[in-house]
A and B are shown apart, each in its own frame.
Chain A
Amino acid sequence: MSAVAAMPPKNYEILPKTSETGETIGELLEISMGPHHPSTHGVFRMDVVLDGETVVKLKPVFGYLHRNHEKIAENISYLGSMPYTDRLDYFCSMTNNWAYALTVEKLAGLPVPERAEYIRVIMAELTRLQNHTCLIGFFVQDMGALGTPLMYAFREREKILDLFESVSGARMMCNYMRFGGVRCDVTPDWLAQAKQLVDGYSRFLDEFEALLTQNEILLARTQGVGVLPRELVVNASLTGPMLRAAGVNYDVRKVDKYGIYGRFDFKVPLGEHGDIYDRYLVRVLEMRESVKILQQALRDIPSGPVMDPKAKLRGFRPKAGEAYGRIEAPKGELGFYLISDGSANPYRYRVRPPSFINLTVLEDMCLGHRISDTVVILGSVDIVLGEVDR
């Protein structure tokens, strides 16, 4: 019997550092960062090679939360996938629902009543508010601001989740939208509560910005870090605040004008340098624009039905064909691609996850920075692993 127990596997490796002529001049350290690391926002792993404290190579490793969402959806009905879409980006279930409903409506040519369109816009913009608020809370926590900003963010998020709960029955897994409308109507009382929250949100943002925007530590840690040039950002298919922080004016709400976004007056905030600080500012300004959209939508919402009377949910069989639908989710462009063969289940169901594709350039952003900066850079991408791994 061997008396010596086997050594546990190491989670680091020492590699030789060689000069251009091939001589050994030192050591590199390869470490596995994650999957259980508090800064990875879930079960995400990065294989990092370090020279001292500087990152020389970084490879993201995915799949710890993979459950093959697409295969599940191909084996159930169109309606059956709706609650599963909540679990993709579990911060923003309302926008996930909308993207899926929009694609099915495009596939089958279903109309949506006016009031339902307004409710969808209200829900999507409330989702954007709570997603960006929380993201900023998490991301300053990654830089060491433990607690205070995050708790302020969560206080506001909880108010929005209360609104979601009172209309859909669930805080996060809302399962609220349907093909041809929304599941249930909102009450005048709910609209009054939403209006009160929206009117008070600018004041909260002022308070939040007073804490953070001119903060010396935040400026030092974010300005000039993780810079992405404009050409790379477009070529690497980045979307959402990551894209606009690099100065590219592309917002699906403005380009496609899906739903009724053509009716609202709002601006698309753009960054200039493409660094983390610009991404932070773009998100704050986007929230201020969302408040404007919400005020207009809550003012103009008409009365009427919230569900198309001809819409059929159970036994729904669209004609054969295919459609690609996309919306501007808080994290970027969320797309669904559906192929129907005329049966009750989709033949092919594909999700275009924005945060997965935004990670394409993670290595480019981190190279040459210190290991402590990779944490902040990853925080600024805004990932949710439910969506990355699907």
Chain B
Amino acid sequence: METPEQIKARLEAAVPGAKIEILPNDCPAGERSLLVDPAQVLAAAKFLSADPQLRLDFCSNVTGVDWPETEITEKIKVKRVVDGVEKEVEEVKKTVRPGFLEVVYHLYSMELKHGPVVLRQRTANRDPEAPAVSLTSVWRGCEFQEREVFDLFGIRLEGHPDLRRILMWDGFKGFPMRKDYVPPDDFEYEPTPHDEVLEQAKKHYPPEVKA
């Protein structure tokens, strides 16, 4: 099968305005993935499924990943003049990477029996129901899995025919698979909460109440 670089070059030629980034994967046997902007992902998916050399007709796995805002610390060497002498000093550089949500697709070809090609799209931020684009119109197999991504991660996949909660009940508040989700503590009532239960209970009440 073609390498991610070859697929990227052909995708950029076929989809006007597409900016595609190849994400590295440090795992030795793992596949590198193609990051596509949500605005072009539908056109890119149509190309990948119809292209005679790729024929990625089988979308095996669809899932979401939550990447909250993190501070990345890097050690960089900077040249600086210390006491009149130019020296190389190590400095800690802190950058804040804004948070985003990601939808990951694992594509295979049943006809040509190759794969996987990993396709990703990212939302702009972690707002409740942040928008991305649904690929159910290309691969019907995404239908329930994308509903699950909406249900558990809160990614609104635009263009989905029936975007409702699927595993949680209608009327449930919150998105359980996000990293900052706090589970409710009232499933197991304790009259005198202590230790871990007390710590968890405090998260649900305003500070002055203190459970």
Considering the chains assembled together, what is the distance between the CA atoms of A131 and B151 in angstroms? 31
B197 located at the interface, meaning its Cβ lies under 8 Å from any Cβ of chain A in the complex: no
Size of A's binding interface in residues, CB under 8 A: 42
A154 located at the interface, meaning its Cβ lies under 8 Å from any Cβ of chain B in the complex: no
The answer, among A66, A255, A318, for a CB contact under 8 Å with B167, is A66
Q: How far does the Cβ of A109 sit from chain B's closest Cβ, in whole Å?
A: 5
Interface bracket on B: 20 to 34
The answer, among B30, B118, B166, B177, for a CB contact under 8 Å with A71, is B177
B59 located at the interface, meaning its Cβ lies under 8 Å from any Cβ of chain A in the complex: yes
A323 located at the interface, meaning its Cβ lies under 8 Å from any Cβ of chain B in the complex: yes
> Do A360 and B141 touch (CB < 8 A)?
yes
> Do A71 and B140 touch (CB < 8 A)?
no
A196 located at the interface, meaning its Cβ lies under 8 Å from any Cβ of chain B in the complex: no
> Do B168 and A63 touch (CB < 8 A)?
yes
The answer, among A66, A70, A335, A361, for a CB contact under 8 Å with B60, is A335
Is chain B's interface secondary structure helix, strand, loop, or mixed overall?
loop
Considering the chains assembled together, what is the distance between the CA atoms of A361 and B169 in angstroms? 22
Considering the chains assembled together, what is the distance between the CA atoms of A206 and B139 in angstroms? 40
Of A159-167, A169-177, A233-241, A283-291, the one with at least 4 CB within 8 A of chain B: A233-241
> Do A357 and B26 touch (CB < 8 A)?
no
Q: Which residues of B contact A348 (CB under 8 A)?
A: 63, 65
Q: Which residues of A contact B29 (CB under 8 A)?
A: 106-107, 109, 323
Considering the chains assembled together, what is the distance between the CA atoms of A224 and B77 in angstroms? 72
Considering the chains assembled together, what is the distance between the CA atoms of A360 and B116 in angstroms? 22
Considering the chains assembled together, what is the distance between the CA atoms of A250 and B60 in angstroms? 13
Q: Chain A residues in contact with chain B, CB under 8 A?
A: 62-63, 66, 68, 70-71, 106-109, 232, 234-238, 248, 250, 255, 318-324, 326, 333, 335, 337, 339-340, 348, 350, 352, 356-357, 359-361, 389-390
Between A and B, 17 residue pairs with Cβ closer than 8 Å are A71-B177, A235-B139, A236-B141, A237-B59, A248-B110, A250-B58, A322-B25, A323-B30, A324-B30, A324-B106, A324-B116, A352-B60, A352-B61, A357-B145, A359-B144, A360-B144, A361-B140
